[in-house]
Amino acid sequence: MTKPRSIANHFAASILSLLFAFFIFVVAATSIMQFERIETQLKEELHVEAFNKLNLLNVELNSLRQVVIRMASSQLSINGLIDLNHAYFHHSLDDLSLFTSVSDALVFDYAGEALFEDYHTPPPWFQAPLVNETLSTSNSSLLFSDGYFFIVEPILYYNTVQGGIIARVSAEDMINKGFDSPEYYFSVTIGGNWTYSSNPNHGDGISLTMTAPDSMRISEFKTTVSLVEPYSYLFKGITPWLYSFIILGLIGLLPVVFMAQRIGRKMAQLLLSLLRTCPKAVTP
C-alpha cells in the first residue's frame, strides 16, 4: 500500500512543480509587462510636466520683463532722470524688488553710469557691458550670467536713449517658485553651463530631458529641464497589483493541489495495473 501511495505522491509533486513553475513564469512575464506600461505612462507624464515647467519659467520671465517695460516707458521715468531728489525711482525700484521676483534693480544714465544708489559705488553685480547693447541700439535686452537674468529696458525721450532700468532676477528663485514641492528630482540648465538641481546626489530612475522650444524666450539661453522619477515609483505602482495577483493565483492553486493528488493516484494505479499485466522482467 505504501508503494502505490509513494508513486501517487511523486506524480502529484511533479504535476504541482510544473504548475508552480508555470505560475512563476506568468507572474514574471506579467510583472515585466506591467513595469513597461507604468514606465511608458510615467514618461508621458514627465514629458507634459517638463513642458509645463519650462513654460512657467518662460511666463515668469516675460511677466517680469513687462513690469520693467511699463516702468521704463512711464511718463514719470524721464522726469525721474532729471529729478535731483530721485524720489520717483527710489520708491519705484523698492516696489519692483519687493513685490516681484526681481532681486535688485537700478537706473543708469545715457553714459551707462548707475544712479540713485544709497552707496557711492554701484553694487558689485552691475557692470557697464550689461547695458552697452541697450544704449547703442535703443532696444531692450535680456542677458544671463552667473545664475541671474538681467532685464535691461531703455528710457526714451523723443526716441533718444536717456538712460534705462536694469533688473537682476535670480534664476534659482524663479526655479524654486516654478517647482513648488515636486514629487521627483529635477535639474535646470541655463546657458549651457549653469545648473541648478534639487538633489545632485539622487539615484537612478526614469528620466526625461526637454529643451525649451524656439517659441519660448528662454530658448535663447539653451534652457533644459531634466526630471528624474526614482525606480521606487515603479515598485509603488506595481506592488498592489502584484500582491493581488499572487494572492489570487495561490487561491486558484488550492483546488489544483487536490486535483493533482487525484490525478497522481489514478496515474499510479494505471502504472501498477500495467506492471501486473506485463510479463516479469528478466533479471541478469
pLDDT one-digit tens code per residue, 170-187: 999 889 888 876 678 889
Residues 6+ apart with CB under 8 A from 184: 46, 49, 227, 228, 229, 230
pLDDT confidence of residue 127? 87
In a domain, 234, yes or no: no
Report the number of distinct structural domains present in the chain: 1
User: For all residues of the chain together, what is the average pLDDT?
Assistant: 77
Band of residue 105 on the pLDDT scale cut at 50, 70, 90: confident
Q: Does the pLDDT of residue 157 top 50, yes or no?
A: yes
**Residue range 203-232: mean pLDDT, rounded:** 87
**Residue range 183-211: mean pLDDT, rounded:** 83
**In the 3-class helix/strand/coil scheme, how is 196-213 assigned residue by residue?**
EECCCCCCCEEEEEEECC
Q: Does the pLDDT of residue 164 top 70, yes or no?
A: yes
Top-confidence range, 131-145, 232-246, 248-262: 131-145
In a domain, 188, yes or no: no
pLDDT confidence of residue 111? 85
Instruction: Supply the range of the domain harboring residue 94.
Output: 1-170
Query: Which one is predicted more confidently, 93 or 269?
Result: 93
Residue 160 is part of a domain; what is its CATH number? 3.30.450.20
CA 53 to chain centre: 8
- Model pTM? 0.72
Top-confidence range, 25-34, 158-167, 264-273: 158-167
In a domain, 257, yes or no: no
In a domain, 211, yes or no: no
Q: Does the pLDDT of residue 281 top 50, yes or no?
A: no
In a domain, 182, yes or no: no
Go through 194-232 and write b for each residue having 16 or more CB atoms within 10 A of its CB, e for each that does not.
Answer: bebebeeeeeebbebebebeeebbbeebebbbbbbbbee
CA 222 to chain centre: 17
In a domain, 195, yes or no: no
**Residue range 263-280: mean pLDDT, rounded:** 62
pLDDT confidence of residue 41? 81
In a domain, 213, yes or no: no
pLDDT one-digit tens code per residue, 55-82: 999 999 999 999 888 888 877 766 666 6
In a domain, 94, yes or no: yes
